[in-house]
Structure 1
Amino acid sequence: MALSSGIFSTTAITPKMPSLSSRRLLPATASPPSANVRFVRPVIQAAASKSATGTRLPSGIMRPRRVSPEMEALVGVSEIPRTQALKRIWAYIKENNLQDPENKKIIICDEKLKKIFGGKDRVGFLEIGGLITPHFL
C-alpha cells in the first residue's frame, strides 16, 4: 500500500489484515489505536546556568541618563534611570498630597511639577511617562 502526504511518497508494508468478520469494530467516537501513540523525548540533564563572570551593565530604561536641571531639582540627582525617576516623582506626589481627592488618577501640579509637566495644572497618571521623556538628555 502506498501512502502519500504532500510532496513525499513512501511505501509502507503492513501485515495481512484479518477479514472484516474477525476484526473487532471500534465505536465511531473512538480514535484509531495509532492516534494514541505518544513520542517521548529523552530527558537530558539541564545544563547549569552560566555564572556571571562580570557585572552586566543596565540597558534601556534601567540605564542611568543625565536629566534636565528641572528634573534634577525634583529627583535630587543629575543621572538616574527612568524607572527610579518615576518612583521619586510618585514619592514626591504622595509626600505632598498632590493627588486629586475625588479621582486619585489625577495629579494636581505644584510649581516643581509644572516645570516638568510642561506647565499643566492637572495631569493624568498615565501621562507622566510621556511628559518626563524630554527631560532625559
Structure 2
Amino acid sequence: MATGKNTNALQKPLTPSAELAAVVGSAQLSRGETVSKIWEYIKKNNLQNPANKREILADAKLKPIFGGKDKVSMFEMNKHLAAHLK
C-alpha cells in the first residue's frame, strides 16, 4: 500500500459505509473507483433523469446514500458520497 506522500486524495483507499457498500461492495476503494462504480450502477439501472442528465434519481439503495432525497445533481452526489467514505 502506498504511503501518504505518494497518494493523492482521489487514490487513497477508503472504507464505504454500510449503505454505500450495498451499491459498490464492502472492499476498500479510492474516491475515484467509488464514483466509477456508482456511475456503473446508475447507468445499469437507468437512474439518470432523461429530461436532465445531470440529475440522478435515487432508488431504494441510493436514497440512504443521498440523505433520503429522491434526486440529486451530479455535483451534489459527490458531496453525499464523501460522507459515506471513511
- Which structure has more relative contact order (CA 8 Å, sep 6+)? It is 2
Segments of 5+ residues of structure 1 without an aligned counterpart are: 1-54
Segments of 5+ residues of structure 2 without an aligned counterpart are: none
2:46 maps to: 97
Which amino acid counterpart does residue 121 of structure 1 have in structure 2? Answer: D
Tell whether 2:35 aligns with 1:86. yes
Tell whether 2:7 aligns with 1:58. yes
Tell whether 2:86 aligns with 1:134. no
Higher Rg: 1
Deviation digits for residues 54-95 of structure 1 (CA, Å, limit 9, x no counterpart)? x77533220111111111111013311000000000110000
Q: Secondary structure of 2:7's partner?
A: coil
Shift of 1:123: 0.6
Which amino acid counterpart does residue 114 of structure 1 have in structure 2? Answer: K
Q: TM-score, normalised by structure 1?
A: 0.56
Which amino acid counterpart does residue 10 of structure 2 have in structure 1? Answer: I
Q: Secondary structure of 2:10's partner?
A: helix
Deviation digits for residues 98-134 of structure 1 (CA, Å, limit 9, x no counterpart)? 1111111111100111011100001111111111111
Percent of aligned pairs with the same amino acid:
40
